[in-house]
């Protein structure tokens, strides 16, 4: 069985069908630039294009850069504030006539890594952090997701943590990779004091360079790079539909 995974981001909206039994994409992903401003009406038109591109009929999972509770978007990170308060899940089901699951984008990435990626078969408390424009988080205890954790928005060093240690600060503040890794290590130590995770998974595009800064990270938890990197949102969104594989 397959489901369509859609990952809505601040710069691009990506989608691909995913085989639920394996977590593998069954065709090349399609990416369309996120419209600016990224209002619901504009983004819904992009979703229409993606559904048409794949001629899709079946379950749909949609990952959003937002806190999502019962299909309702409660925050807006890197998308227009007019999303807040909308029952996106119900609106998309009415629009497409298919079962739709809407969830936080980092939670979607965590689901992918937990079922088929770097966290597969790990026990205890597992924390996934996606490092990019911001810091997304997904927390699992013995494989059970605690949704919408948003640890990138913890206050740290007088700022939201993601303003201090997200991957984007490397270019924004012209940091060396070493300087950024030391900042990340400070943040990881802070999160460890709060959560005491057994394992930490680092995702996002920068995870492909993990070997270059891994030695600078000193954590009590085991630490490893994510497997799916920027593919995780699509895969996890599809898996979150709960469709039978």
Confidence bin at 243 (pLDDT 50/70/90): low
Percent of the chain topping pLDDT 90:
91
Q: Is the pLDDT of residue 67 over 90?
A: yes
- Residue in the block written with tokens 């009415």: 94
Q: Is the pLDDT of residue 26 over 70?
A: yes
The CATH number of domain 118-226, selected from 3.30.420.40, 1.20.1110.10, 3.40.50.300, 3.90.25.10: 3.30.420.40
Q: Is the pLDDT of residue 55 over 80?
A: yes
CA–CA gap between residue 195 and residue 214 (Å, rounded): 21
CA–CA gap between residue 142 and residue 125 (Å, rounded): 6
Contacts of 234 (CB under 8 A, 6+ apart): 5, 6, 7, 14, 15, 16, 18, 25, 29, 63
Contacts of 224 (CB under 8 A, 6+ apart): 118, 199, 200, 201, 202, 210
Specify the pTM.
0.95
- Residue in the block written with tokens 């993601």: 162
* Residue 145 backbone dihedrals phi, psi, to 5 degrees: -75, 135
Alpha carbon 225 to chain centroid distance?
14
CA–CA gap between residue 111 and residue 113 (Å, rounded): 6
Structure confidence by residue, pLDDT tens digits, 183-234: 999 999 999 999 999 999 999 877 888 999 999 999 999 999 999 988 999 9
Looking at the chain, which residues constitute the CATH 3.30.420.40 domain(s)? Answer: 2-107+232-239, 118-226
Contact 135, 161 (CB under 8 A): yes
**Residue from 127, 210, 199 nearest 167 by CA:** 210
CA distances from 243 to 5, 90, 177 (A): 12, 17, 41
In this prediction, residue 206 carries a pLDDT of 77
Percent of the chain topping pLDDT 70:
99
CA–CA gap between residue 149 and residue 138 (Å, rounded): 6
The CATH architecture one would assign to domain 2-107+232-239 is 2-Layer Sandwich (3.30)
In this prediction, residue 205 carries a pLDDT of 76
Confidence bin at 133 (pLDDT 50/70/90): confident
In this prediction, residue 245 carries a pLDDT of 47
Positive or negative, the Cα torsion across 181, 127, 151, 147? positive
Confidence bin at 29 (pLDDT 50/70/90): very high
Token duo for residue 107: 């939670």
Structure confidence by residue, pLDDT tens digits, 158-197: 989 999 999 999 999 999 999 999 999 999 999 999 999 9
Token duo for residue 193: 């004091």
Structure confidence by residue, pLDDT tens digits, 87-118: 999 999 999 999 999 999 999 999 999 999 99
**Residue from 160, 210, 217, 213 nearest 186 by CA:** 217
């Amino acid at each position: 069985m397959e489901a369509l995974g859609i990952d809505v981001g601040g710069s691009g909206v990506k989608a691909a069908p995913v085989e639920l039994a394996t977590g593998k994409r069954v065709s090349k992903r399609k990416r369309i630039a996120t419209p600016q401003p990224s209002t619901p009406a504009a983004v819904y038109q992009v979703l229409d294009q993606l559904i048409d591109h794949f001629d899709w009929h079946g379950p749909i999972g949609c990952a959003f850069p937002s806190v999502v509770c019962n299909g309702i978007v409660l925050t807006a990170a890197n998308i227009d504030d007019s999303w807040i308060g909308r029952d996106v899940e119900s609106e998309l089901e009415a629009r497409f006539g298919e079962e739709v699951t809407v969830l936080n984008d980092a939670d979607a990435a965590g689901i992918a890594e937990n079922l088929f990626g770097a966290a597969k078969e790990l026990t205890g408390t597992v924390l996934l952090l996606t490092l990019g424009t911001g810091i997304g988080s997904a927390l699992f205890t013995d494989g059970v997701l605690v949704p919408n954790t948003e640890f990138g928005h913890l206050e740290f060093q007088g700022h939201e943590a993601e303003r201090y240690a997200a991957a984007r600060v490397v270019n924004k503040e012209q940091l060396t990779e070493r300087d950024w890794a030391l900042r990340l290590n400070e943040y990881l130590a802070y999160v460890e004091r709060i959560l005491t995770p057994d394992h930490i998974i680092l995702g996002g595009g920068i995870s492909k360079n993990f070997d270059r800064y891994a030695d600078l990270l000193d954590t009590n938890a085991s630490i490893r790079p994510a497997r799916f990197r920027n593919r995780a949102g699509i895969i996890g969104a599809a898996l979150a539909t709960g469709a039978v594989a």
